[in-house]
Amino acid sequence: MAKPRPRRRSSPGIGWAGFLGIALLLFAVSCGAGLIYFAFFTERPPTIAEETLCPLGGARGVTVVLIDTSDDLPDATRREVLGLLEEMVTTLPPYHKLDIRVLDVAGLRSRSLFAKCNPGNGTGLSEWTNNIEAARLRWIESFRKPALEAINRSVTPARAAASPIMGAIQDIALSEFSGSAGQNIKKTLYVISDMIESTKDYSQYPRSGDLSYQRFRQSPAYRKYRTELNDATIFVRLVSRQVNGKAVVDDSQLMGFWREWISDNRGLIGSLKRLQGA
């Protein structure tokens, strides 16, 4: 009689505890891999200067707004300007600089009311490596609020006998568009003005002569206000001036003059548009 073969002992199954352990291990590995990815491959916000809110390596772009209040702004124009400027504050890209300026008539230049970079409002930041709420509060308190306060001050009437628009643009170009820091970044200038240049060197009022560029070339102002715009893009938002229902100057001829001036000074023409109201 043959001896019965001994039964092989079956190995115990993994069981639910084993599956759970493996799942937890895989989860831990994936979390660790995710943290490593965020640590090494996610772009981190740059270190910024406390006073200017700009990256220590310099702003990634600059937008300058020059508001001419040498004459009162009509109510409709003022409302449109405020809306335009508030939109700029909201849509300015992170780490780009916003510089809000008004004419300094006495100095034939400009005066800055606000100049800071947008530090970012937390949008697009990773929750793993950043405090999004802190970023949003910093944007509101350090950038948005003071920028809007400066905007309200910028449209306050400040009547003056002269209007040195060229001198103000030259001043802006020297401080914001020149030097190595301004060579490889996007440069934008918005000029909100009636664009009627008026100084002792050159005036565009009808009594002073025509609006031809040739007359300007023959004036002392041509060399005095020669400006290197360094390929900055210039946007003009024209405030129409009228006396007794008639335009002070021909807007079309005036815009033609400024197109030529911008090109002659190595600037790029963005758009030249009339604002509402007169």
Q: What is the CATH number of the domain that holds 75?
A: 3.40.50.410
Based on the domain organization, do 211 and 79 belong to the same domain? Answer: yes
Is position 192 within any domain? yes
Is position 87 within any domain? yes
Over the range 60-73, which residues count as b (16 or more CB within 10 Å of their CB) and which as e?
bbbbbbbbbbbbeb
Angle at 188 between CA 186 and CA 191, to 5 degrees: 175
Based on the domain organization, do 21 and 127 belong to the same domain? Answer: no
**pLDDT given at position 37:** 47
Is position 214 within any domain? yes
Based on the domain organization, do 23 and 126 belong to the same domain? Answer: no
Cβ atoms within 10 Å, residue 10: 6
Based on the domain organization, do 219 and 150 belong to the same domain? Answer: yes
**pLDDT given at position 124:** 58
Based on the domain organization, do 211 and 101 belong to the same domain? Answer: yes
Based on the domain organization, do 30 and 74 belong to the same domain? Answer: no
Is position 55 within any domain? no
Is position 6 within any domain? no
**pLDDT given at position 121:** 77
Give the range of the structural domain holding residue 220, as residue numbers without chain letter: 61-274
**pLDDT given at position 255:** 96
Task: Say if residues 103 and 164 touch (Cβ distance below 8 Å).
Answer: yes
Distance CA 84, CA 35 (A): 42
Q: The pTM is what?
A: 0.81
Distance CA 92, CA 121 (A): 11
Total number of domains constituting the chain: 2
pLDDT along the chain (278 residues), means of 10: 53 58 60 49 75 94 93 89 94 96 92 95 59 80 94 82 94 92 87 95 91 96 97 96 81 96 98 89
Is position 50 within any domain? no
Based on the domain organization, do 24 and 134 belong to the same domain? Answer: no
Strand (E) positions, the chain? 61-67, 97-104, 109-117, 186-193, 233-238, 242-243, 246-247, 268-274
Rounded to the nearest 10 degrees, how much is the dihedral formed by the CA atoms of 96, 54, 266, 236? Answer: 50
Query: pLDDT tens, 165-221?
Result: 999 999 999 999 998 767 789 999 999 999 999 999 999 998 888 999 999 999 999
Is position 4 within any domain? no
Based on the domain organization, do 132 and 19 belong to the same domain? Answer: no
Based on the domain organization, do 73 and 134 belong to the same domain? Answer: yes
Based on the domain organization, do 38 and 77 belong to the same domain? Answer: no
Is position 80 within any domain? yes
Cβ atoms within 10 Å, residue 135: 18
Taking alpha carbons only, the member of 245, 191, 234 closest to residue 70 is 191
Based on the domain organization, do 141 and 233 belong to the same domain? Answer: yes
Based on the domain organization, do 39 and 175 belong to the same domain? Answer: no
Task: Say if residues 71 and 159 touch (Cβ distance below 8 Å).
Answer: yes
Distance CA 203, CA 248 (A): 13
